[in-house]
């Protein structure tokens, strides 16, 4: 994890649309989710950060709290700001928002914990299991 905002790359994205047509494209290299059509959407999810090795970690007050944000990648405008999270207890940053999007608009999720990110990670899944969930995103088209 780097100081400042870090882009989340999801291994799966859940999209709910009553019309049963795919209305987004997800780029698993950049983390950008591009909406094929405009409309009103609900976006919700969680983002968790953790320490690599809790046994050898000496707590510090410099950088524990953090949060995630959902933003428009073309304008950098925030769509949603997540709740405060904590790496030491793996308390998640949760977000839930309704927004109006234009055709072709791209969104992304980022997480930050400040400048001191020593031993803080966006996720640890050494065995490659998709059950080690550190972030989740649900996008629902409302109209």
pLDDT in tens, 46-88: 999 988 765 655 555 555 689 999 999 989 999 999 999 988 8
Class of domain 6-141: mainly beta
pLDDT in tens, 95-115: 999 999 999 999 999 999 988
The alpha carbon torsion through 21, 36, 26, 85 (nearest 10 deg) reads: -100
Structure token digits, residue 16: 């709910």
Q: Where are any strands of DSSP class E within the chain?
A: 6-7, 14-16, 24-26, 33-35, 39-47, 50-51, 65-72, 78-81, 85-86, 93-101, 106-112, 120-121, 135-141
């Amino acid at each position: 994890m780097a100081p400042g905002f870090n882009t989340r790359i999801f291994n799966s994205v859940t999209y709910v649309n009553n019309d049963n047509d795919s209305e987004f494209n997800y780029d698993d290299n950049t983390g950008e989710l591009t909406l094929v059509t405009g409309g009103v959407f609900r976006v919700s999810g969680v983002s968790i950060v953790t320490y690599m090795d809790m046994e050898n970690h000496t707590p510090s007050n410099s950088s524990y709290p953090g949060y995630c944000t959902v933003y428009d990648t073309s304008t950098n405008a925030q769509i949603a700001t997540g709740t405060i999270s904590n790496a030491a207890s793996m308390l998640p940053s949760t977000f839930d928002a309704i927004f109006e999007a234009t055709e072709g608009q791209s969104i992304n999720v980022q997480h930050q914990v400040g400048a001191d990110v020593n031993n803080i990670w966006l996720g640890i899944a050494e065995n490659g299991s998709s059950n080690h969930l550190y972030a989740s995103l649900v996008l629902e088209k409302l109209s």
